[in-house]
Amino acid sequence: MVKSIASYIDHTLLKPDAAEKDIIELCDQALQYGFAAVCINPVHVKLAFERVKNTPVKLAVVVGFPLGANLPQVKALEARLAVERGAEEIDMVADIGAIKEGSFTRVEKDIIETVQAAHPAEVKVIVETALLSETQKEKVCRIVMDSGAAYIKTSTGFVSGGGAVLEDIVLLKSIGKDNIKIKASGGIRTLAFARKLLDAGASRLGTSAGISIVEEENREFS
């Protein structure tokens, strides 16, 4: 049986003005539609945990979001506190500036500290592919693989013109093979594009348009 597109989607709300009622609605939608996870800011982790605990919907929390420019110790603390409050997955933003300037020892330290602090939660490392060269993407993908993180993630969705690009998924899959999972995120608004990303090698999709994508799929079978 073919899995529903919903089972690949992290139902996401990371807007700065998201209120408690919005988080409650997000969680209830995730339960209704069968999304893989909800992805939220750390301030809402306790509230979201109470809504989705003991259900198949996972709780993903962002760390160092959206710039990735926090000190590694701060990201690690943020991750640990989120996990203590119920987070099962951590979506951390890597040190993008360090990637750009080739300070890969710093990049590695940044990621490893969060991965260790978040244990046993899975960590998705956001590398902001829209800002990187192909060589930088290749290098950081290998660092993420070696760090113990579960996923490499394309984007925060907060960079102008950035987002999931099919060619990036193909590149990351060619490097990571089956040694790292890929989360495509940013600008995913249609069922057709979501399917292309999955076919290219993504195993999770981050989007705030999950409901419309699932409803588009449902119309195919109605």
For residue 204, the domain's CATH number is: 3.20.20.70
Distance of CA 172 to the CA centre of its chain: 15
Which residue matches tokens 């113990």? 148
Catalytic (active site) residue 53: no
Give the residue numbers spanning the domain of 163. Answer: 5-220
How far is it, in rounded angstroms, from Cα 5 to Cα 66?
26
222 pLDDT band, cuts 50/70/90, is confident
Give me the percent of the chain exceeding a pLDDT of 90: 96
Residue 216: pLDDT above 90?
A: yes
- 3-class SS shares of the chain: helix, strand, coil, % to 5: 50, 15, 35
Tell me, what's the pLDDT at 160?
85
Question: Which one of the listed residues 153, 168, 173, 181 is annotated catalytic?
Answer: 153
Is it the case that residue 89 has pLDDT exceeding 60? yes
Q: Is 28 one of the catalytic residues?
A: no
Average pLDDT of the chain to the nearest whole number: 97
50/37 Cα distance (integer angstroms): 14
Characterize the bridge pairing of strands 204-207 and 37-40. Answer: unpaired
CA pair distance 96, 199, nearest whole angstrom: 27
For the chain, how many structural domains are there in total? 1
Give me the phi and psi of 37, to 5 degrees please.
Answer: -160, 165
Residues 6 or more apart from 147 whose CB is under 8 A from it?
108, 111, 112, 115, 123, 125
Between 117 and 1, residue with greater pLDDT:
117
Predicted confidence band at 48 (pLDDT cuts at 50, 70, 90)? Answer: very high
Q: Which two tokens stand for residue 119?
A: 């244990």
Q: Is 46 a catalytic residue?
A: no
DSSP character at residue 119 = T
Annotated catalytic residue, options 91, 95, 110, 168: 91
Catalytic option among 58, 137, 181, 183 = 183
